[in-house]
C-alpha cells in the first residue's frame, strides 16, 4: 500500500474554480455529469489528474470536444495545452450497492452522501484534496413520488417538475469549498423549521429533516442549533453566512455527523430524542454534536485544511469549541470531568499503543484511520493549553486574527499557532512539540517542606516513553496549575499559580509556608499529562473533600480509588477504609450538586485501572473493583438509599438539576445492588417498569443485566418488545448486554451476533455489539481467547462491507503488549489472521499491520 507523507506536500497542479454537477438520481443507476473549469496553477506542463474510485468514464470532453485521456490506475489523466479549460466527464454509479457508506449511497429509502475524507472521488472524477476550493452549482433530478425532497449545499435557486413523474432542483453554494464538504440528499423527508436571526439582523431558515414519524423527536436538536448559533456570535464573533441551514438525519452513517456547507448530514442517533427513547447522555451528545458541526462552518469550512495531516486544525479546535459550549449550558465542572474521562479512556491508550501518532501526523496509509481521539480530543487539549497560556482576552484576539487572516483559505496547524503567538505575544516555539511528538507526558511532582524556614520546594520532572517511530522525546511545555493547602488549617497556604514546565526538571519555591502543605496540581486538568505524586491517602482524602477546584477534588478521589485498587490487585487485598470515608464525606456534603457527587463517587473503569499497571490482569482487576464496590455498597447502604429515595419523586425534565438527580440515583442503585441487599433486584425492576424516561429505564436495565436475578431476562425481553421498531433503542439493548459484567457475556454476545436484529451493514448496530464488547475488559480478554476470535471474525466480515467502520473497531485487539504472554500470543494470532485475509482493505491492513509491529 502507498504511504502518504506530510513532507511530500506540493500545491495542486490544477485548480478548479467552478464546477457544475448534474445528477440523474436512481438507487440502481445514477448518472453524474460534471463540468469543471480548470486553471493551471503555476508554470508547469503536468497533465490534469482527476481522482476516481470505482469510476469508469463514459465520456470525457475538453472545451466541448472529445478529449484524449487515459486511466492511471483509478486516476483519470487528461493532457491539456492551455492554462484554462472546461472539462466534462460523465460516469454512472450504483448507490444501493455502496455498502462502504462513502460517496453516494442509499439509507432507509433515501439517497445521501458522505465525502470526508475521500468519498467525493467515488461520485465523480475530481482533484480530491482539501486545498482545491471550488464554487458549486448542483442540479438534482429524481422520481418525485419516491424522493420528494432534493437538497444540496448552499442556497436553493430553482426547481420544477418534469412530465415523466420526476422533478428537479438546483442549488448554488457561493462559498468556494473543498469537495469533501459536498453533499446532497434525495428523500421522503419532513422538516422541523425555524428562523434564526443573526446579530446583524439577517434571517436564516433553519430546518431539521427526518422521516415524518420522527418529527416529534427533533425539537431538542433544533433548540441546540439555535443556541449554538447565538453562542458562536457571542463567544467568537462568528455569524452564519447563508440564507438556509439544513440538517438531515440518516440511519446508516460512518461518523457521528458531517459538517457539509449549509447541509449537515447526521447519524440519526445525534438528532432524534424524546424522554422515552433517549438518555440524558444522548441529549447532551446531541447538543454537543449539533454545535460541533455548526461550529465547523467557521473552523473547518470558511477555513479548511491544507492537507489531511492538518486535520486537527479543524477537529481539535472545533472539539474545544463544542466542549466550551456544552460547559456553558450546565455544570462546567462536570463537563470537564466527562471530557477528561473520555480523553483517558480513548486517547491515553492510543498514545501508549502501537497506533500512537502525533496530533499532526507525518504519514498515513488510509486517512480514515486518523479520525482518532488524538486528532480530536488531544487536539482540543492543545487549544485549551494555548488558551490557558494566553488568557481569555488574548486568546479571543488570537482567534479573531486567525479567522480574519485565513478566511477563504486552506490552512495549517502552524498557521493557527502563529496567530496564537502573534496576538498572544508569547513564544510558542517549544510548545509546538505537542503537535509533532506522540505520547502522553508523565510528570512527577515532589513537594518538600522545611518547617524551620517556611519554605516549600516543588520539584517537577517530565518524561515521555518512546512511541512508534519516535524513540527519543524532547521535553514538552506543560502548563500546570498548582496551589498549596495547609494540612492542619485546611486553608490555602500558597495561591493558585500557573507553572510552565518546559525543562526536563524544574523547581518552584514557595515561601512563608508555616504548616505542612498539601499539593493540588493540574487543577482543571490544565495539561493532558499523567501526574505522579507521593500524596498519602489522608492527603488525597482531604483534597477530595476540601479542594476549591472541583476538578482537582474529583481527581483526588479518583487517585485515592486508583491507589487502593492497584494495591489490591498487586497484593490481593487493599485497605478500603480511606475510600469509604472519602465517598461518605462527598455524599453527605450539602454544598455539592448531585451531578458532581455522582461523578466523584464512581470507581475508575476496569480499563483505566489496567492502564496504571505494567501487565494488565483483567480478572484480578475485576475482582478488586467488585470487592471495593461491594464494600462501598455495604458500608454506605443507608446513605445510598437516602440518595436514591431523595431522587425518586422527580418527574422527567431536561435540566441540569434533574439530570444530576437521575445520575446520582442510578449510581446509588448500582451501589445498592453491589451491596448484595436482597431487595436490590426488585428495586431495579420497579425503577425499570415505572421509569418515565430512558435514563432511568436503561440505568435499571444495566444493573439487572449484570446480575443473576430472575428479573434480568424479563427486563431484557420487555425492553426488546417495547422498542423493537426503534433501531437506536435496540442499539442500547445490544450494548447493555455486551457491557454486562456477567461471566457468560462472551457467549451471550456470540449468540446476539446471530440475532435477527443484528447486522453488520449498519455501523451503529455493529458498534453497539462488537465495539461495546471490545470495551468490556474482562469479557473481551477471556483467557482462552474466545473474545479475540469472535471480534476478529466479525471484523473480517465487516471489512468486506465497510472497511472504514471495521478498521476503527480494531485497536482493542492491537493492545497485546499490555497483557500477559498467553493473551498476547492469542491476540497476535488474530491480528496475523486478519492481515493474511485475502482482499483485506487498506484501512484494516494499516491498523492490523501497525498493531503487530
Compute the CA torsion angle 552, 554, 556, 558 (nearest 10 deg): -140
Residue among 32, 13, 23 at smallest CA distance from 127: 13
Distance CA 515, CA 535 (A): 16
One residue of 22, 214, 232, 315 binding ligand DPP per CB under 6 A: 315
- When the beta carbons of 116 and 381 are compared against ligand DPP, the nearer one is 116
Instruction: Check if the beta carbon of residue 304 is closer than 8 Å to that of residue 178.
Output: yes
Residue of closest CB approach to ligand DPP: 258
Helix or strand holding residue 850 (H, E)? helix 842-852
Residue from 22, 51, 88, 116 that binds ligand DPP (CB under 6 A)?
Answer: 116
232 binds, among ligand DPP, Zn ion, none (CB under 5 to 8 A by kind): none
Q: Which residues contact 55 (CB under 8 A, 6 or more apart)?
A: 74, 76, 91, 93, 121, 122, 124, 125
Closest distance of CB 378 from Zn ion, Å: 14
Q: Report the side by side order of strands in the sheet with 244-250.
A: 190-197, 203-210, 244-250, 263-267, 257-258
User: Near ligand DPP by CB under 6 A, which window of 292-300, 470-478, 490-498, 515-523?
Assistant: 292-300
Q: Is 259 in the site for ligand DPP (CB under 6 A)?
A: yes
Minimum separation from the CB atom of position 791 to ligand DPP (A): 25
Where does this chain touch ligand DPP (CB under 6 A) — which range of 252-260, 340-348, 479-487, 513-521? 252-260
- Write down the least CB distance from residue 114 to ligand DPP, Å: 8
Q: 297 vs 741, which CB is nearer to Zn ion?
A: 297
Interaction of residue 322 with ligand DPP, rule CB under 6 A? no
- Residues binding Zn ion (CB under 5 A): 315, 318
Question: Is residue 102 a contact point for ligand DPP (CB under 6 A)?
Answer: no
Selected binder of ligand DPP within 19, 257, 566, 587 (CB under 6 A): 257
Closest approach, Cβ 103 to ligand DPP, in A, equals 15
Residue number, 299 or 847, with CB nearest to ligand DPP: 299
Does residue 844 interact with ligand DPP by CB under 6 A?
A: no
Q: Is the dihedral of CA 295, 299, 300, 303 positive or negative?
A: positive
CA distances (Å), origin 639, targets 76, 646, 837: 70, 11, 55
Residue 377 or 437 having the CB closest to ligand DPP: 377
How far is it, in rounded angstroms, from Cα 264 to Cα 240? 14
Is residue 293 flagged as an active site residue?
Answer: yes
254 contact, one of Zn ion, ligand DPP, none, CB 5-8 Å limit per kind: none
Task: Tell me the C-alpha distance between 697 and 75, whole Å.
Answer: 53
* Cell numbers at 314, concatenated: 479543524
Placement of cell 493540588 in the chain: 520
Nearest to 800 by CA among 760, 756, 846, 770: 760
According to DSSP, residue 754 is labeled: T
| Count of residues that interact with ligand DPP, criterion CB under 6 A | 9
**Residues of this chain, 769-808, that bind ligand DPP according to CB under 6 A:** none
Spatial distance between the Cα atoms of 600 and 582, rounded to a whole number of angstroms = 10
Choosing from 131, 232, 293, 563, the residue that interacts with ligand DPP (CB under 6 A) is: 293
Using CB distances below 5 to 8 A depending on partner kind, what does residue 816 bind out of Zn ion, ligand DPP, none? none
Residue 848: CB atoms within 10 A of its CB come to 26
Q: How far is the CB of 257 from ligand DPP (least distance, A)?
A: 5
Stretch that binds ligand DPP, among 68-76, 256-264, 342-350, 479-487 (CB under 6 A): 256-264
Q: Considering CB distances under 5 to 8 angstroms, the limit depending on partner class, which of Zn ion, ligand DPP, none binds residue 562?
A: none
Rounded Cα distance between 301 and 289, Å, is 16
Quote the least distance from Cβ 381 to Zn ion, whole Å. 15
How do strand 203-210 and strand 257-258 relate by DSSP bridges?
unpaired
Give the residue carrying C-alpha cell 469472535. 790
In 188-334 the beta strands, taken as DSSP E runs, fall at 190-197, 203-210, 244-250, 257-258, 263-267, 304-305
Coil, strand or helix at 149? strand
Q: 470 or 804: whose CB is closer to ligand DPP? A: 804
Do the beta carbons of residue 295 and residue 288 sit within 8 Å? no
CB 170 within 8 A of CB 138: yes
252 is an interface residue for ligand DPP by CB under 6 A: no
In whole angstroms, give the CA distance from residue 357 to residue 414: 17
809 binds, among Zn ion, ligand DPP, none (CB under 5 to 8 A by kind): none
Please name every residue paired with 69 in a beta bridge, in sequence order, or none if there are none: 78
Using the minimum distance from each CB to ligand DPP, give the nearer residue, 118 or 606: 118
Instruction: Tell me: does residue 621 bind ligand DPP (CB under 6 A).
Output: no
Q: Which is nearer to ligand DPP, 288 or 813 (CB)?
A: 288
Residue by residue, DSSP assigns 35-64 as EEEEEE-SS--PPEEEB-SS---SEEEETT
Of the candidates 388, 302, 368, 378, the residue with the CA atom closest to the CA atom of residue 339? 378
Span near ligand DPP by CB under 6 A; candidates 16-24, 137-145, 288-296, 809-817: 288-296
Q: 258 contacts which partner out of Zn ion, ligand DPP, none, CB within 5 to 8 A by kind?
A: ligand DPP
Contact 482, 496 (CB under 8 A): yes
DSSP state letter for 10: -
Q: Based on CB atoms, which residue is closest to ligand DPP, 116 or 635?
A: 116
Catalytic residue among 116, 293, 381, 635: 293
Cβ at position 255, least distance to ligand DPP in Å: 4
Min separation Cβ 315 and Zn ion, Å: 5
**Cβ-count burial of 54 within 10 angstroms (0-12 exposed, 13-18 middle, 19+ buried)?**
middle
| Residues 6+ positions from 755 with CB-CB distance below 8 Å | 734
121 versus 432: smaller Cβ distance to ligand DPP: 121
Cβ proximity to ligand DPP, 87 vs 257, nearer residue: 257
Min dist. Cβ of residue 728 to ligand DPP (A): 19
Query: b vs e for 241-264, b when ≥16 Cβ sit within 10 Å of the residue's Cβ?
Result: bbebbbbbbbbbbbbebbbbbbbb
Interface residue with ligand DPP among 23, 120, 255, 431 (CB under 6 A) is 255
**H-helix or E-strand containing 184?**
strand 184-187
Q: Computed from CA positions of residues 579, 585, 591, 593, in that sequence, does the dihedral angle turn out positive or negative? A: positive
Partner whose footprint covers residue 116, from ligand DPP, Zn ion, none (CB < 5 to 8 Å by kind): ligand DPP
Our CB check for ligand DPP shows the closer of 299 and 412 to be: 299
Smallest gap from Cβ 260 to ligand DPP, in A, equals: 9
| Smallest gap from residue 107 Cβ to ligand DPP (A) | 16
Contact between 370 and 308 under an 8 Å Cβ cutoff? The reply is: yes
Which residue of 60, 142, 258, 373 would you call a contact of ligand DPP, by CB under 6 A? 258
Residue 142 binds which entry of Zn ion, ligand DPP, none, CB below 5-8 Å type-dependent? none
Q: Nearest distance from residue 244's CB to ligand DPP, in Å?
A: 20
Nearer to ligand DPP, 372 or 666 (CB): 372
Q: Give catalytic residues, as residue numbers.
A: 293
For ligand DPP, the binding residues (CB under 6 A) are 116, 255, 257-259, 292-293, 296, 315
Amino acid at each position: 500500500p502507498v504511504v502518504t507523507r506530510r513532507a511530500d506536500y506540493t500545491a495542486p497542479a490544477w485548480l478548479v474554480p467552478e464546477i457544475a454537477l448534474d445528477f440523474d438520481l436512481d438507487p440502481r443507476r445514477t448518472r453524474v455529469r460534471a463540468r469543471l473549469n480548470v486553471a493551471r496553477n503555476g508554470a508547469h506542463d503536468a497533465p490534469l489528474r482527476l481522482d476516481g474510485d470505482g469510476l469508469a468514464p463514459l465520456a470525457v470532453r475538453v472545451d466541448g470536444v472529445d478529449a484524449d485521456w487515459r486511466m492511471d490506475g483509478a486516476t483519470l489523466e487528461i493532457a491539456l495545452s492551455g492554462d484554462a479549460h472546461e472539462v466534462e466527464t460523465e460516469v454512472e454509479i450504483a448507490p444501493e450497492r455502496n455498502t462502504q457508506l462513502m460517496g453516494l449511497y442509499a439509507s432507509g429509502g433515501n439517497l445521501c452522501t458522505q465525502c470526508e475524507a475521500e468519498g467525493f472521488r467515488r461520485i465523480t472524477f475530481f482533484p480530491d484534496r482539501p486545498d482545491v476550493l471550488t464554487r458549486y452549482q448542483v442540479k438534482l433530478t429524481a422520481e418525485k413520488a419516491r424522493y420528494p425532497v432534493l437538497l444540496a449545499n448552499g442556497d436553493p435557486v430553482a426547481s420544477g417538475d418534469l412530465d415523466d413523474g420526476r422533478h428537479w432542483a438546483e442549488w448554488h453554494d457561493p462559498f468556494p469549498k473543498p469537495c469533501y464538504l459536498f453533499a446532497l440528499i434525495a428523500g421522503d423527508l419532513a422538516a422541523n423549521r425555524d428562523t434564526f436571526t443573526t446579530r446583524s439582523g439577517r434571517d436564516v431558515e433553519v430546518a431539521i429533516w427526518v422521516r415524518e414519524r420522527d418529527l416529534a423527536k427533533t425539537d431538542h436538536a433544533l433548540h441546540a442549533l439555535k443556541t449554538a448559533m447565538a453562542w458562536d456570535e457571542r463567544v467568537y464573533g462568528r455569524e452564519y453566512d447563508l440564507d438556509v441551514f439544513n440538517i438531515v438525519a440518516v440511519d446508516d452513517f460512518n461518523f457521528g455527523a458531517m459538517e457539509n456547507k449549509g447541509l449537515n448530514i447526521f447519524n440519526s442517533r445525534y438528532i432524534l430524542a424524546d424522554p422515552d427513547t433517549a438518555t440524558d447522555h444522548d441529549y447532551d451528545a446531541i447538543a454537543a454534536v449539533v454545535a460541533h458541526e455548526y461550529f465547523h462552518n467557521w473552523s473547518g469550512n470558511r477555513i479548511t485544511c491544507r492537507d489531511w495531516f492538518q486535520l486537527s486544525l479543524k477537529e481539535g479546535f472545533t472539539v474545544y469549541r463544542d466542549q466550551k459550549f456544552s460547559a456553558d449550558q450546565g455544570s462546567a465542572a462536570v463537563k470537564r470531568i466527562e471530557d477528561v474521562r473520555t480523553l483517558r479512556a480513548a486517547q491515553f491508550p492510543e498514545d501508549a499503543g502501537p497506533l500512537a501518532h502525533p496530533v499532526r501526523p507525518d504519514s498515513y496509509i488510509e486517512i480514515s484511520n486518523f479520525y482518532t481521539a488524538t486528532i480530536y480530543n488531544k487536539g482540543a487539549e492543545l487549544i485549551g493549553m494555548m488558551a490557558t497560556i494566553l488568557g481569555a482576552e488574548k486568546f479571543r484576539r488570537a482567534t479573531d486574527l486567525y479567522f480574519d487572516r485565513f478566511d477563504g483559505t486552506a490552512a495549517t496547524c502552524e498557521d493557527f499557532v502563529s496567530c496564537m503567538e502573534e496576538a498572544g505575544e508569547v513564544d510558542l516555539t517549544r510548545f509546538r512539540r505537542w503537535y509533532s511528538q506522540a505520547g502522553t507526558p508523565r510528570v512527577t511532582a515532589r513537594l518538600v517542606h522545611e518547617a524551620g524556614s517556611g519554605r516549600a520546594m516543588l520539584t517537577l520532572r517530565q518524561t515521555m516513553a518512546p512511541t512508534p517511530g519516535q524513540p527519543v522525546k524532547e521535553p514538552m511545555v506543560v502548563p500546570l496549575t498548582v496551589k498549596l493547602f495547609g494540612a492542619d488549617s485546611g486553608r490555602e497556604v500558597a495561591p493558585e499559580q500557573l507553572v510552565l514546565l518546559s525543562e526536563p526538571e524544574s523547581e518552584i519555591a514557595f515561601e512563608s509556608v508555616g504548616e505542612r502543605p498539601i499539593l493540588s496540581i493540574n487543577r482543571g486538568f490544565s495539561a493532558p499529562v499523567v501526574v505522579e505524586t507521593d500524596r498519602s491517602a489522608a492527603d488525597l482524602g482531604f483534597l477530595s473533600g476540601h479542594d476549591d477546584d472541583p476538578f482537582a477534588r474529583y481527581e483526588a478521589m479518583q487517585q485515592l480509588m486508583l491507589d487502593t485498587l492497584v494495591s489490591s490487585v498487586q497484593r490481593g487485598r487493599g485497605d478500603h477504609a480511606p475510600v469509604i470515608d472519602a465517598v461518605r464525606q462527598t455524599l453527605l456534603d450539602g454544598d455539592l450538586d448531585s451531578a458532581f457527587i455522582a461523578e466523584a463517587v464512581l470507581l475508575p473503569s476496569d480499563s483505566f485501572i489496567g492502564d496504571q499497571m505494567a501487565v494488565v490482569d483483567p480478572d484480578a482487576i475485576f475482582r478488586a473493583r467488585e470487592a471495593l464496590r461491594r464494600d462501598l455498597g455495604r458500608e454506605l447502604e443507608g446513605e445510598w438509599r437516602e440518595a436514591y429515595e431523595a431522587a425518586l419523586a422527580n418527574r422527567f425534565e431536561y435540566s441540569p438539576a434533574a439530570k444530576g438527580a437521575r445520575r446520582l440515583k442510578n449510581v446509588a442503585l448500582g451501589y445498592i445492588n453491589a451491596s448484595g441487599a436482597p431487595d436490590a433486584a426488585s428495586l431495579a425492576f420497579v425503577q425499570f417498569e415505572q421509569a418515565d424516561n430512558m435514563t432511568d429505564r436503561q440505568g435499571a436495565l444495566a444493573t439487572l443485566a449484570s446480575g443473576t436475578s430472575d428479573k434480568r431476562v424479563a427486563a431484557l425481553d420487555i425492553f426488546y418488545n417495547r422498542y423493537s421498531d426503534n433501531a437506536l433503542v435496540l442499539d442500547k439493548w445490544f450494548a447493555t448486554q455486551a457491557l454486562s459484567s456477567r461471566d457468560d457475556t462472551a457467549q451471550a454476545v456470540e449468540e446476539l451476533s446471530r440475532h435477527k436484529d443484528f447486522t453488520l451493514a449498519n455501523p451503529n448496530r455493529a458498534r453497539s455489539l462488537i465495539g461495546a464488547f471490545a470495551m468490556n475488559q474482562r469479557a473481551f480478554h477471556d483467557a482462552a481467547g474466545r473474545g479475540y476470535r469472535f471480534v476478529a471474525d466479525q471484523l473480517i466480515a465487516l471489512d468486506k462491507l465497510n472497511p472504514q467502520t471495521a478498521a476503527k473497531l480494531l485497536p482493542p485487539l492491537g493492545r497485546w503488549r499490555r497483557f500477559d504472554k498467553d493473551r498476547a500470543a492469542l491476540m497476535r494470532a488474530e491480528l496475523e489472521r486478519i492481515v493474511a485475509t485475502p482482499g483485506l482493505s487498506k484501512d484494516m491492513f494499516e491498523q492490523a499491520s501497525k498493531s503487530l509491529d
